[in-house]
Structures are given as C-alpha cells and as structure tokens.
C-alpha cells in the first residue's frame, strides 16, 4: 500500500488484468498525443515498456498508440481529475481519474465515497507529496538498492516488498532520467509513473482486522471504477 494502493487479496486481484490493460491503454493514448514514436517520446516509452512487461497484446498496444496520436481518425478526449477524501477509519485517499465524462466520474465518486468521506480540493493532498515512482527488481545478484538510488539520482527508495520489488522515489522531473539509469545499477524497471506518497502513513496494525478489511474493500471498489487510473492511500507497508 503506502505509495500506491494495490489489491493484495487474490479474490480482489483475480480479475485485475483486464482493468490494468484498460488503464494502460488510456495512459498510452494520453502519452501518444505528443508523438507515436516511443524513442522520441519519453512518457510514451515508459508506458509502453510497462505494458509489454505485463504482456499487453501487441495489437492492443499499437491500436492505443495510433488512436492517441490521431492516426485512426478517431477522437480521444480524456480529462484528468483528482478526488481526495477519506476511506473508512480516516485513512486519507487520493484518486486519480482519466475520464471522457467528468460529470459521470464526479457522480460515481460521490457514490463510492459514501462509505468514507469525499473531501474538497486540498483536504488531504497537503498530507501527500508528488513524486516519481519507479518499481524495479534486481536483475543481477547482489544489486544494492541504496547504492543504485544514489548512482541513478533517485531521492529515496523503499525496501523490497514480499515480491522482491523495490520502489525508487524521484523528483517528478527526474522520473525518466532515473528509470533509464537504474538498469546500469543492476535493476530491471517494471513501471515508472508520477504519483502521491503519504507523508504520515497510518500503520495498518493500528486498525483491527475488520477495520482493515473495510478499508481494503473500499479501496478495491475505487480501483474497479472504469474512470479511475490510480488510487493512493495513506497506509504503511
């Protein structure tokens, strides 16, 4: 959780791949507005690499690039919107949306936040910092994340999770530069994006098992919404 909430229960995550492809397709279309060639478009290159790592079908990927770049004759109009508030038990949440219908997204967020509390702009964003987030795993034996962070120019890193993935944190403007530098330091980049890291994350141990389950269920419902790209929750771990 922490920097970006992710479903941990198998039953919640079981059908997540289709949603992931949908979210990545939106990211690809947005990035491709600035050019269809990943070699000349750093933002597109990062998203394309991420799509390939999760085995997005090649035709789906190429169609998203062409559509975003305006090469298919179809118009793509996605608007970016941020919503912030609290999950149950006062866990702060920031929700990033890409939507083709702002009114629909706003209405659905109001419904989804009924089990928490939808806030106004700035109500919880003050408790998050905008950073570049790079997920990477060791590609060579003995790869040292602390040394890699220093040499690649990252601000900080979070120790590897249960799956061996380390999160490198950067200044927003340094995201592409650091992601390009990490392979030379023995790390394979899995994803790279801008996001929000909580300044004062809540320790899940301070919640009962039932309370934590309520928070997880709330976050999963947000993540399942078609307009939601990312959910950032103020939880440790």
Q: Where are the domains of the chain?
A: 10-68
Centre a 10 Å sphere on the Cβ of residue 14 and count the other Cβ atoms it contains. Answer: 9
Q: Which residues pair with 84 in a beta bridge?
A: 94
Asked whether the whole model's pTM tops 0.85, one would answer no
Return all residues near 71 (Cβ < 8 A) that are at least 6 apart: 36
- pLDDT of 96 over the 50 cut: yes
Q: Which of 205, 149, 208, 229 is nearest to 181 (CA)?
A: 149
Per-residue pLDDT of 60-79, as tens digits, reads 999 999 999 988 887 778 88
Per-residue pLDDT of 114-145, as tens digits, reads 999 999 999 999 999 999 999 999 987 888 99
Per-residue pLDDT of 172-210, as tens digits, reads 999 989 999 999 999 998 888 899 999 999 999 999 999
Helix, strand, or coil here: 143? coil
What is 10-68's CATH topology?
Answer: Arc Repressor Mutant, subunit A (1.10.10)
């Amino acid at each position: 959780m922490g920097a970006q909430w992710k479903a941990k229960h198998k039953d919640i995550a079981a059908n997540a791949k289709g949603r992931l492809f949908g979210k990545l397709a939106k990211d690809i279309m947005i990035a491709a507005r600035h050019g269809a060639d990943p070699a000349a478009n750093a933002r597109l290159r990062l998203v394309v690499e991420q799509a390939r790592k999760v085995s997005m079908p090649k035709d789906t990927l190429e169609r998203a690039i062409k559509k975003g770049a305006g090469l298919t004759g179809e118009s793509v109009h996605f608007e970016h919107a941020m919503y912030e508030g609290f999950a149950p038990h006062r866990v702060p949440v920031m929700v990033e949306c890409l939507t083709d219908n702002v009114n629909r997204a706003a209405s659905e967020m109001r419904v989804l936040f009924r089990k928490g509390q939808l806030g106004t702009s700035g109500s919880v964003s003050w408790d998050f910092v905008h950073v570049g987030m790079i997920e990477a795993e060791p590609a060579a034996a003995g790869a040292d994340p602390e040394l890699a962070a220093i040499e690649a120019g990252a601000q900080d890193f979070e120790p590897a999770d249960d799956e061996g993935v380390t999160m490198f944190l950067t200044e927003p403007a340094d995201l592409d530069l650091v992601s390009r530098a990490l392979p030379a330091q023995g790390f394979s980049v899995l994803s790279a994006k801008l996001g929000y890291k909580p300044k004062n994350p809540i320790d899940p141990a301070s919640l009962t098992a039932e309370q934590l389950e309520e928070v997880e269920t709330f976050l999963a419902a947000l993540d399942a919404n078609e307009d939601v790209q990312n959910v950032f929750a103020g939880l440790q771990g």
